[in-house]
Structure 1
Amino acid sequence: MDILHALRGFCAFYVVVFHAKFLLWSGGTEYLRAFPRAGWSPLQYIAFIGDMLSSAGYEMVIFFFVLSGFFIRYAQLKKHRPAFRFYLNRIVRIYPPYLASLVLGGVVLAYVASAHPALMTNSIGRELNAGLLGAWHELHPLTLRAVGRAILFLKPGEHYFGYNGVYWSLLPEALFYLAVPLAFWRIRYYYALSAAFYAFGVVASVLHLDTGFLGDFLFLFNGYFALGVGLYDVVVTRSNWLPAFRRVSGFWLVLGTGALMLLLIAMAALHLRLLSGPVASVLAVLSVSALLAGRVSRQNLLVRAFHEVGIFSFSLYLYHFPLLILGYVGIVALTGELVSYTRYYWVTLPLITAGCFALYYITERAAVRFFRGT
């Protein structure tokens, strides 16, 4: 199972690139408005295609939900924990780095407001700058209500605490963890209900019905967690599942995976989330199965690199957004421009990743070692 950490690392790093592009470059629509394609050179087309390859940030979170369901099922069957101990384990793993990220986000937002207030403006029509301003107004002055909602993974207002948009996925994850002891106690009922709820969620989405955050979990996101749980049961109980993947031609496996990824990116660019979510989940099933079937060597350089990132993927996910905001501040200070369409975001990625690893070492890793008594 250890090789699957490479997939966690890939998902987390992909989301970092997705957000780096948003903060330090711009979205595709804005870029096309600023630079019409009529005057593009072939190199500009290639560069733009490269930018668009990181458009599936939401879809990589769905991919991660499937992985999360898979790993939780594996962990509970390997070492069953009763409800109290399961919840305690999840709290220990999640809250120390999460609370640290709240502090970091609040401090960064306060720093931008005091030292670089020109970045907080809604006059230039860019979502980032208007969002920073709105998030600062919601946290200044800081209230107990805002802190309480943040601790529960909820927005204090229109924006998440510290303008850290990655927090949206933590509430579905937490609700899944709350449901695990009961769901795994009657796993067949859980599968049946999850399938029925997801079918209702698809209908609700088509009809544009607002089901609230609880409805979003029950009728949409829970289906992806349940798929990961079911995938583990299939891998373990059906002896012909992985051998079937071993018999598939490597050429067709690579071609199919690549085609699904390109389809996913195209759907993400077109904002077709009702379709892109299921495609992301299929890609997750295919990737997990291929790795467990040994179709990719553990010595593959990409697998080894993303495996190392996967070790601190949760901290990378939590901390990268405020660090990217600091990177944006630095670039604006150096260039004197509020909005820049040059591709600085590639330069910042190694620095952001290293910063997140350092924060992982002093928060998430330290907390786990402390509570384990080592």
Structure 2
Amino acid sequence: MSGSSRLSSLDGLRGAAALIVVVHHCFLVSPAFAAAYYGGETGDSPLRLALIYSPLHLLWGGAEAVVVFFVLSGFVLARGIRSSSFDWFAYFPSRVLRLYVPVAGAVVLGFVLLLVPHAGGPDSPWLQRDASDYDLGSMLQDLTLVGGTSGVVSPLWSLRWEVIFSLLLPVIAYAARVIPAWLFGVLCIVLSAVGAGQESAAMQYLPIFGVGVALEGEWGRIERLIGGLSRWGRTVLWGGMLPLAVVLLSMRWLLPPSLDHSVLVAAAQAPIVLGAALLVVMAAQWAPLSSLLSWRPIGWLGTISFSLYLVHEPFVLLMASATGASRWTLLTAVPLALVAAWLFWRVVERPAHKLSRGVRERAREKKTVMVENPPAVVPERERELIRM
């Protein structure tokens, strides 16, 4: 499989994950489904219970989709470092622009849409949003991200860790080269599980990006191992890996819900992260899944995935208020969010991407000029005269 096809399938995986996050928020409009996260009665409907406490939860598993995002981000950024054109001098300003310009657009859009009256929806704890909560201080908090987010535009919480990881990338990439990549990945999974149990967000989320970095470090070995298998061997491999990844990603909902919360999330975290890593491998290396994720409609989802993730939530809130039921929210908010994301991609994200590339190229050119024409060394006596 060519490198371009592989990247296309990973873009498709990101697009599918973004759509799952949208569906996740539509499901949270229902008090019964929201109870799985916020506490309360989920009811005794067999279908509802299956959608909550079985691998079917992955159809609307927003938290698991974000773990996939984090692994993908670590993998893709680490892959970029290996490019012959990569330059740290250009990386930082371009990366900051690439993230912050769309975030600023999402903050403004969220504020505007929250001004639209949207009371009267289902009695779900997830729907408790008020435009008055989004004051200037909260908006500035969301615009800076690093110190935390307001929670009003909830998808921004993950962008905080995306930004911090992007700034720490040199340190993490260096660690992944000093330590064997497979061992670094294991350590990251363990740290993430410990962080989940101790309710340390930084320890829980940042190592997930490290798993993606470690995965990229072992990518050549993974390709050789898979390439060395017979056709029958690959059939057995993928036939076993697919259900394994599904079970691992679903672990949060397969463990007894009666467990103490900290024990539950700690026990589930390592399997979830490992399942996300396996899913990335399958998306790139398993031809049927790679072809599906490279299919044009899913590829389009991949193109607008960042915009869809950023801007969908206010539309879900509005449709929940307008329709008054989660099933109608799903049918109306998803297409509306897709259209809004496409417009946001054209108006905000794509120009931001072009600006980011332009800054990166100018930074490279400036560094080249500085290297080729270093400043002349001024003798000490002349420096003293200048200071006088």
TM-based fold match above 0.5: yes
1:312 has 2:304 as partner? yes
Which one of 13, 30, 33 corresponds to residue 19 of structure 2?
A: 13
Go from structure 1 to structure 2 and tell me whether the alpha carbon gap of 1:72 and 1:349 turns closer, same or farther (over 3 Å shift).
same
Q: Which SS does the other structure have where 1:19 is aligned?
A: helix
The alpha carbon displacement at 1:72 in A equals 0.3
* Structure 1 letter corresponding to 2:21: V
The alpha carbon displacement at 1:19 in A equals 1.0
CA distance in 2, matches of 1:30, 1:282: 23
Question: Which piece of structure 1 moves more, 301-310 or 54-63?
Answer: 301-310
* Structure 1 letter corresponding to 2:265: R
Over the matched positions of the two proteins, sequence identity in percent amounts to: 22
1:349 has 2:334 as partner? yes
Q: Unpaired runs of 5+ in structure 2?
A: 1-5, 362-388
Question: Which residues of 2 match residues 88-237 of structure 1 at below 5 A?
Answer: 88-112=93-117, 116-117=118-119, 126-129=124-127, 131-133=128-130, 136-139=131-134, 142-143=135-136, 145-153=137-145, 159-160=150-151, 163-189=152-178, 199=190, 202-203=193-194, 205-206=196-197, 208=198, 210-211=199-200, 216-217=201-202, 219-236=203-220
RMSD: 3.7
Go from structure 1 to structure 2 and tell me whether the alpha carbon gap of 1:252 and 1:274 turns closer, same or farther (over 3 Å shift).
same
Q: When the two structures are aligned, how many residues end up with a matched partner?
A: 341
Contact 1:21–1:27, Cα closer than 8 Å, also in 2: yes
* Structure 1 letter corresponding to 2:330: Y
The alpha carbon displacement at 1:60 in A equals 1.2
The alpha carbon displacement at 1:150 in A equals 1.4
The alpha carbon displacement at 1:296 in A equals 2.0
Q: Which SS does the other structure have where 1:296 is aligned?
A: helix
Question: Which piece of structure 1 moves more, 20-29 or 92-101?
Answer: 20-29
1:261 has 2:261 as partner? no
The alpha carbon displacement at 1:244 in A equals 5.2
* Structure 2 letter corresponding to 1:184: A
Contact 2:284–2:290, Cα closer than 8 Å, also in 1: no
Contact 2:18–2:306, Cα closer than 8 Å, also in 1: yes
CA distance in 2, matches of 1:86, 1:240: 30
CA distance in 2, matches of 1:35, 1:69: 36
Contact 1:24–1:328, Cα closer than 8 Å, also in 2: no
Corresponding residue for residue 386 of structure 2: none
* Structure 2 letter corresponding to 1:27: F
CA distance in 1, matches of 2:295, 2:162: 25
Go from structure 1 to structure 2 and tell me whether the alpha carbon gap of 1:302 and 1:46 turns closer, same or farther (over 3 Å shift).
farther
The alpha carbon displacement at 1:53 in A equals 4.4
CA distance in 2, matches of 1:53, 1:194: 24
Contact 2:282–2:290, Cα closer than 8 Å, also in 1: no
The alpha carbon displacement at 1:82 in A equals 3.8
CA distance in 1, matches of 2:167, 2:265: 26
Go from structure 1 to structure 2 and tell me whether the alpha carbon gap of 1:244 and 1:110 turns closer, same or farther (over 3 Å shift).
farther
Contact 1:8–1:310, Cα closer than 8 Å, also in 2: yes
Contact 1:176–1:222, Cα closer than 8 Å, also in 2: yes
* Structure with bigger RCO (C-alpha 8 Å, 6+ apart): 1
CA distance in 1, matches of 2:319, 2:62: 19
CA distance in 2, matches of 1:367, 1:262: 38
Question: Which piece of structure 1 moves more, 231-240 or 308-317?
Answer: 231-240
Question: Which residues of 2 match residues 42-121 of structure 1 at below 5 A?
Answer: 52-79=57-84, 81-112=86-117, 116-117=118-119
Contact 1:60–1:280, Cα closer than 8 Å, also in 2: no
Question: Which piece of structure 1 moves more, 312-321 or 44-53?
Answer: 44-53
The alpha carbon displacement at 1:368 in A equals 1.9
TM-score if structure 1 supplies the norm length? 0.76
Go from structure 1 to structure 2 and tell me whether the alpha carbon gap of 1:251 and 1:29 turns closer, same or farther (over 3 Å shift).
farther
CA distance in 1, matches of 2:207, 2:40: 37
CA distance in 2, matches of 1:344, 1:267: 26
CA distance in 2, matches of 1:106, 1:265: 34
* Structure 1 letter corresponding to 2:342: F
* Structure 2 letter corresponding to 1:78: S
1:330 has 2:330 as partner? no
Contact 1:154–1:171, Cα closer than 8 Å, also in 2: yes
Q: Unpaired runs of 5+ in structure 1?
A: 333-339
The alpha carbon displacement at 1:277 in A equals 3.1
CA distance in 1, matches of 2:24, 2:269: 17
